[in-house]
Amino acid sequence: MGLKKTPIEDIDYVLMTSPNVPGVTMVKLLTGEFAGTSYSYEYVRLTEEPSLDAAKLSFNYTLYSRADVSNNPRFHHYAGDLLAGLLASQDAKIGKLNGK
């Protein structure tokens, strides 16, 4: 289940510092089925599967709004696809927002 279109930063989502949790970068979704959802990724892990010539992306997240999506598999897939896109982007930044 992949994204129908690649989300665009500042149009479909924004990355922002959490107002309640210092040092945490949140994703806030602006469009689509999950608009208004704010969350942060935690425990991101990329595991190579050499026998399959693939990699497995595992992650957890913390929701800051829209608790109704917490058990929604479509949201989990969307968040995973967005994370994969962020990691694949040449502009991806690993670590804390703005190097702080």
The pLDDT of residue 82 is: 92
The pLDDT of residue 31 is: 94
Mapping DSSP onto H, E and C, the string for the chain reads: CCCCCCCCECCCEEEEECCCCCCCEEEEECCCCCCCCEEEEEEEEEEEEHHHCEEEEEEEEEECCCHHHCCCHHHHHHHHHHHHHHHHCCCCCCCCHHHC
Q: What angle do CA 13, 19, 24 make, to 5 degrees?
A: 70
- In this predicted structure, the answer to whether residue 100 has a pLDDT above a threshold of 50 is no
- In this predicted structure, the answer to whether residue 95 has a pLDDT above a threshold of 60 is no
The pLDDT of residue 59 is: 93
- In this predicted structure, the answer to whether residue 94 has a pLDDT above a threshold of 60 is no
Distance, CA of 53 to CA of 55 (rounded, Å): 7
Bigger pLDDT: 60 or 22?
60
Whole-model pTM?
0.78
